[in-house]
Structure 1
Amino acid sequence: MTVYEADLPGVGKKFEVELDDERRLVIVIHNTGRRELFVRESPDADAEKLFEVSDRLARQVGTILEGAYFQPIRTETIDTVLSDDTLIEWAQVQPGSSLVGGTLAETRLRQELGVSVVAVQRGEETITNPGPETRIEPDDTLVVLGSQTACRRLDDLVAGDTDDEDGR
């Protein structure tokens, strides 16, 4: 990410932030403290004004964006840490996974990995407390409880990677 800075004599400063595509976020900070935000679709295009905020509001929003109020946990999957080594994780079953088509009993996730499936999200439906006869389908999201190690092993299985001899 590149940030361009320019003085605006008599006005303040202008910052342009390159976004992930050709777009740029343009921030003009006036000497009065007022901020204007624009978006520029390409480096050569005119900037379109998004909104304007006061100095006080800009500082409040900036503090939130900086993470002073809330620090998200960075993970590749959604998970909730319950203790040092126990978490709840949501793992989406890919179509090529060896789990597809098997029931919870057949996959032996609890016995072999040490994870308990507490719910299955299937499209708009959520199956809470699924029984051993619940069959796993492609694109199901398994909500599991287990150790971090067990959940990482489950991530491999739902993605289709397996080291187990029987493929489950």
Structure 2
Amino acid sequence: MEVEQTALPGIGLRHDFTTQSGKRVGVVSHRTGRRDLVIYDREDPDRACEVVKLNDEEADALVELLGAPRIVQRLNQAHQEVEGLVSLQLAIPPGSPYADRPMGDARVRTRTNASIVAVVRNGNVVASPGPGFVFAAGDIVVVVGTADSTSEVADILAEG
């Protein structure tokens, strides 16, 4: 799929694409941080039929709703393409030595060569969390690596 990017002087950026059914959809990212979801007229691609103004919280919610299934789908595709690649969903159990501590304290990548690619908390996905991300009991951690390295991560998160 091709996404077109257009600079809007004094406003920000617009990203547009055409769906498989022929609808033109865009997102205008204002310099102020506001995002507008735009559906264009089929007959006149410069005319917006509908504009939905989103604040930061609404834009984040939409990204999470649309992004979570895509992350899982892409990981599943990667498994089929790369032999030996494994992804696991691991819970941070109550009593984990890393509950309420930054992800960087676990040093997962350094210790195992596996990578934490996402954390799911209360149904919301945090993709590519940084080392300052604080784990909470009940978080689901998505880990990618070999079978052995992901198993080591499970031990680290449960026991330290």
TM-score scaled by length of structure 2: 0.47
TM-score scaled by length of structure 1: 0.45
> More helix per residue: 1 or 2?
2
Q: If you compute each CA radius of gyration, which structure gives the higher value, 1 or 2?
A: 1
